[in-house]
Amino acid sequence: MTTAAEPRIALPESESLEHDGRRPIAKALMGGLIALAALGAGFSYLHGRGLETTDDAQIEAHVASVSPRISGQVKRVLVQDHQEVHVGDVLVELDDRDLAVRLLAAQADREAAQATVAAAQAQVGVVEATARSNLKVARSGVDQAAAGAGTARAGIALADADLAAAVSKRELAQSELGRTRALYDQHAISDAELDLRRATFEQAQAVEAQSRARLLSANANVANSDSGIVAARGKLLGAEAGPEQIQAARAQVTLASARLAQAEANVEQAKLNLSYVQVRAEMNGVVARRSVEPGQSVSPERPLLAIVAMAEPWVVASFKEDQIGHMRPGQHARVEIDAFAGQQFHALVTSVSPGTGARFALLPPDNASGNFTKVVQRVPVFLRLDPPPQIAMRPGMSSIVIVQTDR
C-alpha cells in the first residue's frame, strides 16, 4: 500500500535563504547564554561558598533601668528623654527633709552611746580601785578581829586569875572576921577592931564581885571577837569577789561599745540614705522611657527611666539551625543595616547560643502530644560590631548579617 506524498509548500527563494541564515545565529546565541549562565552560577557558587546570611537580625545595646534606692517624693527631674548623660550625672532628686532629721537622730544616738562607753570605762576604773581597797580593808579587818579575839581570850585568863585572887582574899577576910567576932564576944578586942575586920571582909567581897564582872565582860568580849572574825571573813569573801565585779564592769564596756558600733552604723546608713536622694547615672548613654515627674512618690521597685548605652552595640542574628554547623566564635562577618543603606560594617562572631530561641521561650513547645510538625529552628548568634564613631546605632534596628564560616 502506498501513501500519497505530502504536499510541500514552496517558499520564495529569498525567504528560504534568510531562514537558513538565522538558524546558526540563534544556536550561537543560545550557547553563549548557556555558557554565561554556567559561568555566573559557578562564580556565585565560588563567591558564596562559606557565607551564611540571615535578615533576622537586630542591633542590641545595654539598657539600664534606673530606680531609686529609697522611697520618697520627687523634688526635681533634671533630664529629658533622649538627653545624653554621663556617669555621675544627677538625674532625679528626692525630698531629703525626713532623711536629714533621721541623720540628726542617729547622730544624737551615737553621742549618747559614746557617753555610755565613757561612763562604763570610768566605772571599770572605779570598780578596780574599790575592789583592791576593799580587799586590803577586809584582810586587815580579819587580822584585827583575830587580834581582838586573842586579846579577849587573854582577858579571860587575867579575869580568871583576878577572880581566884579575889576569892582567896574574900575567904581570908571572912575567916579573920569570924575569929574577930569570937574575940569580940569574949571582950578580947575593941569595937574598932571588929569594924576594921568587917570593912576588910566587905571590901574583899566587892573585889570578888568586880572580878566576876570582869570575867563576864571578858567572856562577852570573846564572843564579840568571834562574831567579828566571822563578819570580817564575810567581808573578805565579798572583797575577793572583786575580779568578778571587774569582769562584769568590763562586760558593760563591751556592751556599750557594741551599742556604739550599732549607733555608728545607723549614722552611716542615714548618711547613705541621705545621699540616695540624688539618683545618679551609673553609665554613659542616652535617656529613654522617662516616666517620672516632680511631686511623684517613687519606690525602689518602680523604674524611673532607662539609659541606653550607645557606645558598644552588638548584633543578635537568628540563623537557621542548618546554617550554624560551621559557625565559630572569632569568625568575621559583614552587617548591613536598613537605616544605613549602602553601607557595610565589620563584625566579629563572639558566641553562639547553647539552645534555640524556641527552647528559651516563655512557653517552650512540647512535641510529645503526637501532632508533631517539623519546623526549622533558629539559633541566636551574637556578633560584636565595630561601627565608626559618627554613626549612632540604636537598639532594635533591623539588619542583614553575612558570616564567613570555615566551610
pLDDT (tens digit per residue) in 113-144: 999 999 999 988 888 888 777 777 777 777 77
- CATH 2.40.50.100 placement within the chain: 51-95+278-362+374-407
CATH class of the domain defined by 99-267: mainly alpha
State the residue for C-alpha cell 534606673: 66
Task: Say what the pLDDT of residue 33 is.
Answer: 80
More confident residue, 43 or 161: 161
More confident residue, 243 or 46: 243
Pick from 279, 367, 290, 357: which is nearest to 319 by CA? 357
- CATH 1.10.287 placement within the chain: 99-267
What is the identity of the amino acid at 224? N
DSSP notation for 272-312: HHHHTTEEE-SS-EEEES----TT-EE-TTS--EEEE--SS
Pick from 269, 277, 266, 264: which is nearest to 97 by CA? 277
pLDDT beyond 50 at 201: yes
Residues ≥6 apart with Cβ < 8 Å to 320: 54, 376, 377, 378, 379
pLDDT in tens, 361-375: 777 776 666 666 788
Residues ≥6 apart with Cβ < 8 Å to 257: 117
- Name the DSSP class of 189: S
pLDDT band per the 50, 70, 90 thresholds, residue 43: low
More confident residue, 219 or 27: 219
Q: How do 305-308 and 285-288 pair as beta strands?
A: antiparallel
What is the identity of the amino acid at 57? A
Architecture of domain 51-95+278-362+374-407: Beta Barrel (2.40)
